[in-house]
């Protein structure tokens, strides 16, 4: 990006309060008009065209070195090939255009790589491999690198959620079922639910992103490498820091489907939390608000609007995951030893699934970091129904004396009278239960602070599970 463009880009970012995708971001799904929303955060650097090109070249360099270790080429030739495997030497756009003739980008890349290596070493470029070996291994590298960034953002998000959970463990708010007020809960427990869902999904993504290397040759036998095949395959995986599979998985795409499922699960957790924030930020609810600088959450028409744009963007990204994952699940049905179309159908949806997952996580992190809870509004909303959500507690209290069904019918009738007459439930119950319960006793039963069940214990469990996952991540990264 030239200096003038960079200054314009920086100025726009200052106005909007969020980092924008640069004007010269890669085209396609990750750049251009929609890049600011759906290529948000750090994930784009790991899934764009340059990231794929780097992964393809990393696989070719590792193949050359593995062949040298397996005794099928000289070490000098291997290093000559590896030295040329530098993304800056190649034009990803030109390679992509040339891929139309062969059905994948590896073929034109190998041709350009061979030309760039030159000399005797050139005859060993791509030795023993088929294009799918390089493409699949590149997909593994792209997925692992992108997943590491996604998990890093998810871990940071979970830290913010843990603080929110602890801070509001006693903040009363209405619990809602079918979009109606139910029993009281705490905002801390709500945040704990977000924390547990995101943290658990992030941990699962970490396991699912550890796919093995791929090296099987034209039909999965590595025949071109002869007896050296198993040695080269083991060295190839080792060069890349990947696991070695028991055998090539050209048409066994279960691992890719499992990764897709893990990404979709994380998007589900993010989308749920973002959806809750959007609902809680409604004008008529007003229990949370996304704070931000000038221009954040603004409307093109209405000057008073303060939209929860980070949560909205998180939800929009997450909503794309099911369809993308479905495509990858469908691609598992592949013909014989190499697929005719199903394998090729994976590349774009896998890339976009990684992209929107990373973007959604980054947006939710921004939303939670901006989030301001409004405890006074939560408590006021609890009072809108005049104690109706606590009716269950009165029934439970009366059941030993009246029997469960009789107690239920009495309290149900009192609730109906309260709604029809506009009188407070405590006053209606005091009349109906004269001699059995005093107004003070009934007021205590209808106090939401006294009917939170195991909310506090569940908050403790969520925080404990979060700390345990955090320790595991720290140990993994050592």
- The catalytic site residues sit at 299, 338
Strands (DSSP E) found in 87-227: 172-177, 180-186
What is the rounded CA–CA span in Å between residue 413 and residue 395?
12
Phi and psi (nearest 5°) for 119?
A: 65, -165
DSSP state of 345: G
Evaluate whether 201 touches 195 at the Cβ level (below 8 Å): no
Residues in contact with 108: Cβ distance below 8 Å, sequence separation at least 6, in sequence order:
94, 95, 98, 99, 101, 102
What is the rounded CA–CA span in Å between residue 58 and residue 10?
33
What is the rounded CA–CA span in Å between residue 310 and residue 316?
10
Residues in contact with 310: Cβ distance below 8 Å, sequence separation at least 6, in sequence order:
18, 290, 363, 364, 366, 367, 370
What is the rounded CA–CA span in Å between residue 402 and residue 413?
15
Sign of CA dihedral 261, 267, 272, 275: negative
Sign of CA dihedral 424, 426, 429, 434: negative
For the chain, the distance separating the N- and C-terminal CA atoms, rounded to the nearest angstrom, is: 36
What is the rounded CA–CA span in Å between residue 148 and residue 462?
23
Of 397, 384, 377, 381, the closest CA to residue 441 belongs to 397
Evaluate whether 229 touches 222 at the Cβ level (below 8 Å): yes
């Amino acid at each position: 990006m030239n200096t003038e463009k960079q200054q314009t880009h920086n100025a726009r970012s200052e106005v909007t309060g969020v980092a924008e995708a640069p004007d010269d971001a890669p085209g396609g799904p990750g750049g251009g008009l929609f890049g600011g929303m759906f290529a948000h955060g750090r994930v784009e650097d790991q899934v764009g065209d340059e990231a794929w090109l780097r992964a393809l070249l990393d696989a070719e360099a590792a193949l050359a070195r593995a062949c040298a270790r397996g005794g099928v080429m000289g070490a000098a030739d291997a290093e000559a090939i590896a030295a040329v495997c530098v993304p800056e030497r190649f034009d990803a756009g030109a390679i992509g255009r040339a891929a139309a003739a062969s059905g994948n980008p590896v073929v034109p890349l190998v041709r350009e790589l061979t030309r760039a290596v030159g000399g005797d070493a050139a005859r060993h470029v791509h030795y023993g491999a088929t294009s799918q070996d390089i493409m699949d291994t590149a997909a593994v590298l792209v997925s692992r690198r992108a997943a590491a960034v996604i998990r890093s953002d998810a871990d940071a998000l979970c830290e913010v959620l843990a603080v929110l959970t602890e801070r509001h463990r006693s903040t009363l708010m209405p619990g809602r079922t079918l979009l109606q007020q139910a029993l009281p809960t705490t905002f801390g427990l709500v945040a704990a639910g977000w924390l547990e869902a995101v943290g658990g999904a992030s941990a699962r993504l970490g396991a699912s992103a550890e796919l093995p290397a791929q090296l099987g040759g034209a039909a999965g036998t590595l025949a071109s490498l002869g007896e050296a095949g198993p040695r080269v395959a083991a060295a190839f995986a080792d060069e890349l820091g990947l696991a070695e599979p028991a055998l090539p998985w050209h048409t066994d795409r279960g691992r890719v489907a499992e990764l897709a499922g893990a990404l979709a699960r994380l998007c589900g957790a993010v989308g749920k939390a973002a959806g809750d924030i959007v609902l809680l930020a409604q004008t008529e609810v007003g229990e949370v608000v996304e704070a931000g600088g000038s221009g954040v959450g603004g409307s093109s028409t209405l000057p008073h609007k303060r939209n929860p744009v980070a949560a909205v963007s998180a939800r929009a990204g997450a909503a794309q995951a099911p369809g993308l994952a479905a495509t990858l699940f469908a691609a598992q049905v592949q013909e014989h030893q190499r697929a005719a179309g199903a394998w090729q159908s994976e590349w774009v949806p896998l890339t976009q699934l990684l992209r929107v997952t990373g973007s959604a996580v980054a947006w939710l992190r921004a939303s939670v970091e901006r989030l301001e809870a409004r405890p006074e509004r939560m408590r006021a909303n609890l009072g809108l129904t005049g104690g109706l959500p606590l009716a269950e507690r009165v029934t439970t209290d009366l059941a030993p004396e009246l029997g469960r069904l009789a107690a239920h019918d009495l309290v149900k009738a009192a609730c109906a009278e309260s709604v029809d007459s506009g009188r407070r439930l405590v006053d209606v119950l005091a009349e109906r239960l004269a001699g059995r319960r005093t107004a003070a006793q009934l007021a205590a039963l209808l106090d939401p602070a006294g009917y939170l069940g195991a909310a506090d214990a569940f908050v403790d469990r969520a925080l404990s599970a979060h700390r345990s996952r955090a320790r595991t991540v720290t140990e993994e990264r050592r």
